[in-house]
Structure 1
């Protein structure tokens, strides 16, 4: 049993307001939230710093940078997971969905080889209590790959799996409706000559025709049976958004147009965009800016994607600059909204009865800085 902890003189950020107050934690749960200060001798004075809920990250491939710190370098997986975990928790993320890519688009890549290694390392570190953040798994299913369904059926048995996304990165689909954009992007990324690129495009088109529709149906059906959250990916048209809604998906990841995002939002899917998109001021791939979706009132969730500390900074920018976003709503986009979209009802908000995943955050100019992190009432940073 943990002793009671009391945090006072804090600017408490709830789902609806910010106030100077006190939060009491007992046995790992938030016991009481109130305005005013505490005179109890054990109370910790936060000196006017913010007290926020722990952040929820639904989509990050940050672990891959630690698994392969340089081209051709494989780092020991256990060490990679712990280094990744340390960066995650220092960014204020107390629950992270590590994204594992199923289906290799890169003809020269090694993601399929690393997949079981990463899964085993995450599972082992989590089960042995070596991680400071709580790690869940997000299976990213590339539908236009012949092995995707078989690998999905194997990996979905892991108890850490709670989120699945389905995507088709083949030419002519979703993100790459225009073939010339597909050629420009992948030929530069994978360093293919013209003949290699022509063969690559032909193979990807054929794979999409053969596998994508049937794999999408099979994977979504299995997720429904297991009560797993499902996300679409790179929806570009109203038709895509409608299809995702008809499948019963709960999240629209990285829609590429205002039209797709707006309809997804109206149909009940939570629109997820990259926090780096907010921090940098636009999409690195030329798609719709997250700030534009915020201006239309259809941005629900932010994901750090490839840069963990971008979450908190993006929330600060939204609160300062985006019409319709105050600090509680901006913080909810990186805590409460992703928690609910992923089916986590026990966290994501400072409210009595929820898990005491908390951050002490100070403001330095326009920058938020994470000073302390508690997970389930236990100090982890």
Structure 2
């Protein structure tokens, strides 16, 4: 059985240049969009989903009507529900499943993925309980396979529709390996089109932390918007949220510079500014006083920042990193804290200096009556 049975020739594996055959695990919106992007870039693609009936429907319609309606699947995309067949025939694999499934997917891939085939993670999050980044999980479950990450301000429907989109691809740059032969560089060549522009990074930690924390900050932005606050508030949360991302990335060995790029400030700005984002949408509904069970009209919508509010703050506490915005979101979502009182606390904490080197802390001058009034403005 050939997972890449599209009738197109494949280039096979070399040490440089684009990968000829790309396997994509996960047939949701972003997995399908990346498959479409890779096909438009001239690659042979196998898109693998776990639901055989859904894959059959996509094959018949040549469209993912459930998750990415209106986008025709190019002929160079083969569809399969057989993970092992796809893995054995891929020159590189993109894993595009929710963050909580990454360990299980990597474990399933392990026995059937040929030695040395690289894996690029397209999920954003931190594992609950362990505090591991997605690349750390993959390194544990797939020893000997180069690991990369793809992240950035990328709504799936816009990228698939051909709107100009940029993203960052990160991997290690091993000593003795030419930059153009690294996983990040080769995957950038594999996915680059006139509409999709990849950038290359050697800072896996910085790229991944930005993707994990931005969803939590977006929920905070949504809560304040839902409660009736405006652009000033959003700008403040984005800026101070970015500083929280920088602090955590640095504590884990990443670079603050990376967080100012697409996978940090770019992704954060997009997610905090558009109701396309499930995280912002959840926050807006909660900020308007809606119960969590009633959000999204009661549908079981997965909101990555909801779980990551715990994993991010657990990791920050372990590393001694102060993340008050993330802590506020955790308190509201998981500890029963009232939105009004929690954000009143956030805004009237001791006054700090933006240059951290000043090490300044001043008691906030707002009287208790003002703090109480602020808390009562919100549900």
Q: TM-score range by the shorter chain?
A: under 0.3
Higher helix proportion (structure 1 or 2): 2
The structure with higher relative contact order (CA 8 Å, sep 6+) is 1
> TM-score normalised to the size of structure 2?
0.26
